[in-house]
Amino acid sequence: MIIRNAVDAVAAVLFPAPCRICAQTLITASRIPICTDCLASFQPITDPMCDCCGRPFISKVAAEAIRPLCRLCRLDSFSFSRARSYAVYNDALHSAILLLKYEEVTRLGDWFATRLAEVVARQPAEFRADVVVPVPLHTDRFRERGYNQADLIARPLARRLGLKRGSYLLMRTKPRPARLVLSRKEHWDSVRGAYATREGVRVDKLRVLLVDDVLTTGATLDACSRALKKAGAAEVLGLTVARVVTGLPPSNPQPRREAY
Ligand SMILES: [Zn+2]
Ligand SMILES: [Zn+2]
């Protein structure tokens, strides 16, 4: 511990770096450029939650059902079997995801993958899978950015879980609308039929772990899941780093409205 502290102190003096979220100087030699205060402001999602889509419940009442489901999942809206997220999409996590998305901070992808592996470890039987698939970007966007942020999470996650990564299995065939902010309905419309499996690939009977950065309405995971199941996937399980949660008590910061 003394050595560790000494290493941190030396690192802080030799390589003073600011936290990429709040700009205070990092005092520990962390692998990721985020300070402990900002990390502590992430709000991991824990039980009770919807057993299907992972929406957190405010009260325990709903959780007492045999299979606790939210209103949407009781209507059988989603084609994936289950979705879980590491934490609530609050301001701090939003900033962290922007670092991954636009600045390719790969170490943050590793860190998120570790958090998602912990989520999987809570329900090992339910999240047993054969392959990890990142939600793909449309080719135009991929060319523009040069990488897919979901893949920066999927790659270390597959390694951690000892699974194959199938980033070639799925593709986005319809580009995202140019407008940044979409209504809930526009979002559903924009992703409906927007994904397909690549011709000739086999996903027959595979259990797919589908990975994305943010779950907003669940429409993207749903559209990907439909494409995979149409191609024969046995089951699709969704994992995202963040989840937009509305209607939490005021002590929780409200998620900011983000472009889908
Ligand atoms: Zn910070
Ligand atoms: Zn639900």
Summarised one tens digit per residue, pLDDT across range 108-123 is 999 999 999 999 999 9
Q: In what order do the strands lie in the sheet with 235-243?
A: 82-88, 235-243, 207-215, 131-134, 164-165
Q: If you measure from the C-alpha of residue 225 to the centroid of ligand 2, how many angstroms do you get, rounded to a whole number? A: 15
**209 and 160 housed in the same domain:** yes
8-state DSSP, 201: -
How far does the centroid of ligand 2 lie from the alpha carbon of residue 22, in Å? 33
Q: How far apart are CA 37 and CA 55, in angstroms?
A: 26
Q: Give the range with max mean pLDDT: 57-61, 74-78, 203-207, 208-212.
A: 208-212
- Nearest ligand, measured from the Cα of 71: 2
155 lies in the same domain as 50: yes
Span 130-148, average pLDDT:
94
Same domain for 131 and 13: no
* pLDDT exceeds 50 at position 254: no
- Specify which residues 243 forms β-bridges with: 88, 215
Q: Are residues 142 and 27 in the same domain?
A: no
Give the mean pLDDT of 135-159: 95
Residue 260 has pLDDT above 90, yes or no: no
Query: Is the pLDDT assigned to residue 198 strictly greater than 50?
Result: yes
Find the domain containing 82 and state its range.
43-243
Q: Are residues 24 and 130 in the same domain?
A: no
CB-count burial class (<10 Å; 0-12, 13-18, 19+) for 69: middle
Least distant ligand from the CA of 18: 1
Same domain, 163 and 174: yes
In a shared domain, residues 11 and 47: no
Question: What total number of domains does the chain contain?
Answer: 2
Res 64: pLDDT: 63
Residue 258 confidence (pLDDT) above 60 = no
Whether residue 166 lies inside any domain: the answer is: yes
Give distance in angstroms: CA of 218 to centre of ligand 1: 29
Q: What is the mean pLDDT of the chain?
A: 88
Ligand lying nearest the CA atom of residue 68: 2
Is 228 part of any domain?
yes
34 and 102 housed in the same domain:
no
Is the pLDDT score of 249 beyond 60? no
102, part of any domain: yes
**Predicted confidence (pLDDT) at residue 244 exceeds the cutoff of 80:** yes
pTM: 0.87
173 shares a domain with 155: yes
Judge whether 250 lies within some domain: no
Residue 3 belongs to a domain: yes
Residues 32 and 6 in one domain: yes
Among the ranges 177-186, 187-196, 215-224, which has the highest mean pLDDT value? 215-224
Residue 183 inside a domain? The answer is yes
Question: What CATH number corresponds to the domain at position 99?
Answer: 3.40.50
Q: Average pLDDT in the 177-201 region?
A: 86
Decide if pLDDT at 77 tops 90: no
- Within a domain: residue 256? no
The reply to whether 108 falls in a domain is yes
4 plus 101 within the same structural domain:
no
Q: What is the mean pLDDT of residues 211-229?
A: 96
CA of 132 to the centre of ligand 1 (A): 31
Instruction: Using the mean position of ligand 1's atoms as its centre, give its distance from the Cα of residue 32 in Å.
Output: 11
Rounded distance, CA 14 to CA 161, Å? Answer: 36
**Mean pLDDT of the 94-119 span:** 95
Per cent of the chain over pLDDT 90 is 65
For the cut 60, the answer to whether the pLDDT of residue 259 exceeds it is no
Q: Which amino acid, residue 49?
A: M
Pick from 52, 48, 90: nearest CA to 241: 90
Q: If you average pLDDT over residues 40-53, what whole number do you get?
A: 95
Note the pLDDT tens digit of each residue in 10-31: 555 556 789 999 999 887 767 8
Distance CA 61, CA 163 (A): 37
Instruction: Give the separation between CA 207 and CA 14, rounded to whole angstroms.
Output: 47
> Do both 65 and 88 map to the same domain?
yes
Give the Å distance between the CA of 91 and the centre of ligand 1: 12
> What mean pLDDT is predicted for residues 42-63?
86
Top mean pLDDT of 23-27, 128-132, 175-179, 197-201 is at 128-132
